[in-house]
Structure 1
Amino acid sequence: MSQASERPVSAGGAKLFKVAFDLDVDASGWPPVSVERLWGEKTDVRSEIRVVNTPFFVSGIAYGDLVQVRPDHERRELVYDHFTEESGHSTVRVVFMRDEARGAVEQRLTESGCDWETPRQFENLMAVDVPPDVDYATLRRWLLERVDGGGIEIQESALSQVHRTQIRPPGAAG
């Protein structure tokens, strides 16, 4: 980018927009922010944005999901209004309870085809993007073994239909 005022662009060349997702902070102070801003790109549908990063704190949203936004003129920003359509991606959060667990988790996620980010302020937190073609049932079993071992905790923040189907017990309904 040549000027600080220019918007970043997606890999496809589309201009990106920040979308504010307001969060409810519980009595324990979680999440540690009241608003998370995610990058998105416009679609051909009015007021619809495709989310192009993985949320750290917003629940129910994954990379590539479609959401409706509305302008908030007082705040001078776009604000999440409602969910439109899932992308097939899932969001899983990993919290490291022991630092030595990180290397094995990162290696397994890379081998599985997942991407992740860690916020600077919360180095023990990882937001993981699980693409639709990942065998999530196998990855999930592996992650849960690390949970049982006390090295990590996980939160399945947004599971796509593809991944919910993979982990559904045989014969379970919908």
Structure 2
Amino acid sequence: MTEPNERPTSASGAKLFKVAFDLEVERPNWPPVSVERLWGEKTDVKFEIRVVNTPFFVRGIAFGDLIQVRPDNERRDLVFEKFTQESGHSTVRVIIMREDSRERVEIKLRESGCGWELARGFDNYLAVDIPPTVEYREMRDWLQGRFAAGEIEIQESAISKVHQRQLPRFP
């Protein structure tokens, strides 16, 4: 637990920092924010951060990835500068289209070893972390089956090289 005004810590005990990612408009009203802030922990490299949560809107970034940041004193933010190294994790977004499918989707994700985050105000929108130990081809086939059945929408936001090698043709 953290005291007020004290920075939260990661599972390893490292202090966490918010990193601002400026987002480009993909289509009208999407994404619904212009900046997404992700938690990260410092590494031994100056201005390098390890991302410690799963992004909802930022593309090309997954849990555990290493990024370079720059301080922006005017904004009072650490701002994403560039991607430096992938972690092997992948990020997939799932939108639950039929509420009766939610439990089935969550059970499959949990049983497969995936985690997910929910965003306030987006109850049917899951930012899914797929660890490198998950057989992504099987997970992807299952998700595409749910998509074909009209139960979900999916977006492959950041697919690691580990997971890409499991697919016959990607994308």
Give the TM-score, by structure 1 length: 0.95
Unmatched tracts of structure 1, length 5 or more: none
User: What are the residue-to-residue correspondences of 1:15-26 with 2, within 5 Å?
Assistant: 15-26=15-26
The aligned counterpart of 1:59 is 59
| In structure 2, distance between residues paired with 1:11 and 1:27 | 37
Cα deviation, residue 26, structure 1: 3.4
Cα drift, residue 27 of structure 1: 4.1
| Structure 1 position 44, deviation (Å) | 0.5
* Cα distance in 2, alignment partners of residues 62 and 76 from structure 1: 24
The number of residue pairs the alignment matches comes to: 170
Partner of 1:50: 50
Which residue is equivalent to 1:123?
A: 123
Shift of 1:124: 1.2
For 1:102, the equivalent position in structure 2 comes to: 102
Instruction: Name the CA distance, whole Å, in 1 between partners of 2:154 and 2:111.
Output: 18
Q: Percent identity among equivalent residues?
A: 65
Give, as a single letter, the amino acid of the residue that structure 2 aligns with 1:47: F
Aligned ranges for residues 26-105 of structure 1 at < 5 Å?
Answer: 26-105=26-105
- TM-aligned CA deviation for residue 152 of structure 1: 0.2
Offset at 1:125?
A: 0.4
- 2:161 & 2:59 partners in 1: Cα distance? 15
**Structure 2: tracts of 5 or more residues without a match:** none
- Partners of 1:76 and 1:166 in 2: how far apart? 41
List, as ranges, runs of 4+ consecutive aligned residues in structure 1 with deviation greater than 3 Å.
none
CA shift, 1:156, in A, is: 0.5
The offset of 1:168, in angstroms, is: 2.5
Per the TM alignment, residue 37 of structure 1 is displaced from its structure 2 partner at its CA by 0.2
Task: Mark the CA change 1:51 to 1:2 in structure 2 (over 3 Å): closer, same or farther.
Answer: closer
- Superposition RMSD on alpha carbons, in Å? 1.1
1:27 and 1:89 map into 2 onto residues whose CA distance is 27
Letter in 2 for 1:46: K
Question: Which residue identity lines up with residue 151 of structure 1 in the other structure?
Answer: E
State the distance in 2 between where 1:162 and 1:133 align: 9
Query: For residues 52 and 2 of structure 1, do their structure 2 counterparts lie closer, same or farther at Cα, with a shift above 3 Å needed?
Result: closer
